[in-house]
């Protein structure tokens, strides 16, 4: 059946391997960074970074979960996990500063972030309904439906590609701010960079997976079209 095509796993193998490596690095570097004390908590570092840029209206809230940290552009709120919110470690400060970097992007209308935010509904729709259309299209031999599914799924790949510069830029802003504002010393910054670089690798893996998945479906459609024309 289409769902168990070995070609799919051949295509996705590099992305899957990279994702595994990235998760191992994130876990290891996060643990190591948590063992290095910082002079303030993740909350305090993010608050200082935001206030230094006049973003007094951007709130910071604690949310449950592990590494559930994110910036909500619609509510103008940084949401930090308990370990990051309260943690006075290099890992907590680095992650909190990264999320504050997204708030700075939002405030200064960083173009890739604007594009990414606009692409969110398309990506959500494409990852759900697009995949459904692909399965039905291939399963029932409906070429037009499969093509529609591929087009919708392309929105997911586009979102991931645009997301890469957004995440890298947020980390760059975080690293620069932590040094310029004297929040982290040289030793702490070593672990901050390790954590943020490992996290960036997870986004690279996600982008690679979406692009390879799209390429796989395009090839399958080519094969499907060849069989249809016979």
Which range, of 2-11, 43-52, 89-98, 148-157, averages the lowest pLDDT? 2-11
pLDDT digits (tens, 9 = 90+) for 17-29: 999 999 999 999 9
Inter-CA distances, 119 with 30, 88, 95, 162, Å: 30, 35, 24, 9
Q: Which residue range forms the structural domain that includes residue 82?
A: 2-229
Contact predicate 89/35, CB 8 Å: yes
pLDDT digits (tens, 9 = 90+) for 157-187: 999 999 999 999 999 999 999 999 999 999 9
Q: Look up tokens 């439906």; give the residue.
A: 145
Which range, of 34-43, 68-77, 145-154, averages the lowest pLDDT? 145-154
Per-residue pLDDT band for 191 (boundaries 50, 70, 90) equals very high
65: alpha, beta or left? (left if phi > 0; alpha if psi -120 to 50): left
Q: Is the pTM of this model over 0.75?
A: yes
Residues forming beta bridges with residue 37, ordered by sequence position: 89
Residues serving a catalytic function are 99
Average pLDDT, the chain: 91
CB-neighbour burial class of residue 171 (10 A; exposed 0-12, middle 13-18, buried 19+): buried
CA-based end-to-end distance of the chain: 20
Number of domains the chain is built from: 1
Question: What pLDDT was estimated at residue 62?
Answer: 97
């Amino acid at each position: 059946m289409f769902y168990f095509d070995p070609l799919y796993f051949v295509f996705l193998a590099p992305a899957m391997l990279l994702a595994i490596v990235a998760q191992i690095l994130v876990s290891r570097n996060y643990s190591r960074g948590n063992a290095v004390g910082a002079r303030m908590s993740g909350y305090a570092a993010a608050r200082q970074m935001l206030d230094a840029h006049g973003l007094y209206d951007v709130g910071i809230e604690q949310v449950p979960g592990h590494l559930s940290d994110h910036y909500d552009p619609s509510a103008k709120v940084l949401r930090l996990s308990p370990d990051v919110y309260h943690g006075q470690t290099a890992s907590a400060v680095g992650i909190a500063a990264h999320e504050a970097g997204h708030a700075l992007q939002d405030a200064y209308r960083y173009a890739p972030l604007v594009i990414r935010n606009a692409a969110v509904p398309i990506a959500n729709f494409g990852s759900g309904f697009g995949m459904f259309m692909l399965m039905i299209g291939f399963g029932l031999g409906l070429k037009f439906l499969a093509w529609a599914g591929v087009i919708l799924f392309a929105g997911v790949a586009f979102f991931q590609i645009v997301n890469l510069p957004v995440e890298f830029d947020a980390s760059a802003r975080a690293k620069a701010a932590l040094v310029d504002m004297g929040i982290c010393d040289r030793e702490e910054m070593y672990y901050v960079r390790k954590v943020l670089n490992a996290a960036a690798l997870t986004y690279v893996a996600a982008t690679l997976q979406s692009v390879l998945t799209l390429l796989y479906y395009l090839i399958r459609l080519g094969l499907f079209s060849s069989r249809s024309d016979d």
